[in-house]
Amino acid sequence: MALAPSDILLTGRVAVVTGAGSGIGRGIATALSAFGASVAIWERDPDTCAAAAAAVGGLGLPTDVRDSQAVDAALKHTENELGTVSILVNNAGGTFNSPLLETSENGWDALYRSNLRHVLLCTQRVARRLVDAKLPGSVINVTSIEGVRAAPGYAAYSAAKAGVINYTKTASFELAPHGIRVNALAPDLTMTEGLQELAAGALDHQIGSGIPMRRAGHVEEMAGAAVFLASDMASYITGQTIHVDGGTEAAGGWYFHPRTGVPTLGPGRS
């Protein structure tokens, strides 16, 4: 099977990106559209949903993907407007600081619902349609570096993100006979609007000084990985978590000391 430049194109395919009102989700939606896909944005906030859809030239559907009935309604609307969904990006999520000894049951449940429950709901609904229609597809779950390392103060969030990684593996196995691929993307620090606000104008190399590549990631780099996984270029890749993290996961705690440049393993980065 010879490769062709057109294998990266997504022309004629319908993609859903959840939580795409801003940040990584919006960047992925923009890239999928640029490579030919018809894109539906499922975003809880009506204003950011409308703005993102207008910018992407796609369909914007205010949707709380934590709610199964809302997911069913959004999928039906998307199918009626655009056709069968063959690309799903489960990007919606959120977090807040919650130290282990202070985490409430409600806080735990909220982070589970925001970061893991919707991955089941959306994947299940889209996959059922594809299986019934005997069509292939690609599911891309956005997880986090925090799903594979200790994250003090964020135990519930990191547990949910670890769940996304294992769910990706299991779903990929169950759906492989149907030609539906399931993969995940795991970013580290990424220069989203929110991070830029928190960093008060700091540059990406200042924010990401502890990352082996010595800078934070860009939204477009996550988007590029998503386009690849959605395309026929990745037709034999499933069950994988790709770390778009500048080498953080591979480094296993090592970093280049910001003053000396010497490879260092330890808690201090000053």
Catalytic residues: 157
DSSP designation for 90 = E
CB 248 within 8 A of CB 211: yes
Cross-strand pairs, 190: 217
What tokens appear for 250 in the block? 């591979």
CA-CA distance, 187 to 249, in Å (whole number)? 10
Q: Using only C-alpha atoms, what is the Rg of the chain?
A: 19
CA-CA distance, 162 to 6, in Å (whole number)? 34
For residue 149, the one-letter residue type is: R
Residue 12: count of CB within 10 angstroms of its CB: 10
CA-CA distance, 154 to 146, in Å (whole number)? 9
Is residue 185 classed exposed, middle or buried when 0-12, 13-18 and 19+ CB atoms within 10 A define those classes? buried
CA-CA distance, 165 to 169, in Å (whole number)? 7
CA-CA distance, 180 to 26, in Å (whole number)? 24
DSSP designation for 106 = H
